[in-house]
Amino acid sequence: MKILITGASGFIGTNILEDLIDKGYEVLNIDWKEPKIPERKSVWKKIDICNYKKFRESVLEFAPDYLLHLAARTDLDGKTLADYDANITGVENLMRIIHEIPNLKKVVIASSKFVTRNNYKVKNQFDYCPHTKYGESKVETEKKVWRDQPKCDWCIIRPTSIWGPWFGVPYRNFFDMVMRRMYFHIGHIECYKTYGYIGNAVYQIEQLLFNSTPEKDNKVFYIGDEPAYEINEWADEIANELGFIVPTMPVCFAKWLAKFGDLLGLFAIHFPMQSFRYGNMTNDGINDMTNTYKIAPEMPYSRLEGVRITLKWIRKYERN
């Protein structure tokens, strides 16, 4: 079987590419960035998915049986939708090309949990409330898929906060803060969020890629671990592996620091605690994993196993 992955030079794509190659699949990575693992240049083509002609030529030449679309701009730094053209024009190009692939069995298109704000109670798969330009661009991604649906089986995935080997900002920031002893608990406030270890995310995405998802009312699947993490417990788990205890800061002092950080921000001075971060540390952000767990019911890794593997990778990565 031939599997095409767009964006396999990114974090999630790197891990899926490795897993599929290990399993013996013929894989092609289309990405404008070089692979994170130099040995994978042999299965990489440098292509901008916004370039319709070159994108089409490469896809049709490879003629995949399965297609996983991960290519996107994923940071939160863009100021306008035009800054996220890969998430709009790139997807539009993909949906046109898909109709020409003769033996295509399944298409999985990556969106993002940011099509809604944190802890928003999603009513249905067309219910959006993005709070960033990135989120707005991913809403456009989903709308373009729905407007030009593939003839073969397909689904949309919304990765949550995925972490593990080969991750970068912003999701590595949590590990870095704990490892540098800059993270602290805020009073006794509990905060629950849906995160996902990359090993489990790879399993979930592959299950969705290789299994049928024919129900039109269930085409959107969140990628993440169940149950949601209590963030203090997770931080303690990481710190315990490193041999120290996470300190606790009084709520009133944390609020004061956040306001002080906001004030410094007015003068373009970065301070690690601001109101945005305080809110992120104290407000829940839980996504419904029901659909995903019907297709992918088993998590291959516990959170603690993921923490140990990730810390080992960070140590190795920093040495190199």
C-alpha span between 206 and 202 (Å, rounded): 6
Is 254 a domain residue?
Answer: no
Taking phi over 0 as left and psi of -120 to 50 as alpha, with beta for the rest, 212 belongs to beta
Assigned domain for 131 exists: yes
The reply to whether 62 falls in a domain is yes
C-alpha–C-alpha distance, residues 118 and 190, integer Å? 16
For residue 312, being part of any structural domain is answered with: no
Residue 22 is assigned to a structural domain of this protein: yes
Calpha distance 129→118 (Å, rounded) = 10
Query: Does residue 276 contact residue 262 with C-beta atoms inside 8 Å?
Result: no
Quick check: is 179 in a domain? no
**Per-residue model confidence (pLDDT) at position 291:** 95
CATH of the domain at 19: 3.40.50.720
Angle at which helix 198-210 crosses helix 11-22, to 10 degrees, equals 60
Domain membership flag for residue 319: no
By CB neighbour count within 10 A (0-12 exposed, 13-18 middle, 19+ buried), where does 39 fall?
A: exposed
How many of the other CB atoms lie within 10 Å of CB of 168?
12
CB–CB of 198/164 below 8 Å? yes
Alpha-carbon span 294 to 286, nearest angstrom:
18
Chain CA centroid to CA 62, Å: 26
What is the rounded distance in angstroms from the CA atom of residue 289 to the CA atom of residue 222? 6
| Nearby residues of 154 by Cβ (< 8 Å), 6 or more positions away | 106, 107, 108, 109, 145, 213, 219
Q: pLDDT (tens digit, 0 to 9) for every residue of the chain, 320 residues total?
A: 999 999 999 999 999 999 999 999 999 999 999 999 999 999 999 999 999 999 999 999 999 999 999 999 998 889 999 999 999 999 999 999 999 999 999 999 999 999 999 878 899 999 999 999 999 999 999 999 999 999 999 999 999 999 999 998 878 989 999 999 989 999 999 999 999 999 999 999 999 999 999 999 999 999 999 999 999 999 999 999 999 999 999 999 999 999 999 999 999 888 878 888 888 888 888 999 999 999 999 999 999 999 999 999 999 987 66
Q: Is 52 exposed, middle or buried (0-12, 13-18, 19+ CB in 10 A)?
A: middle
pLDDT given for residue 320 in this prediction: 62
Contacts of 81 (CB under 8 A, 6+ apart): 88, 133, 136, 137, 140
**Domain interval for residue 69:** 2-159
Q: Is residue 102 part of a domain?
A: yes
Number of domains in the chain: 1
Contact yes or no for 84/137 (Cβ under 8 A): yes
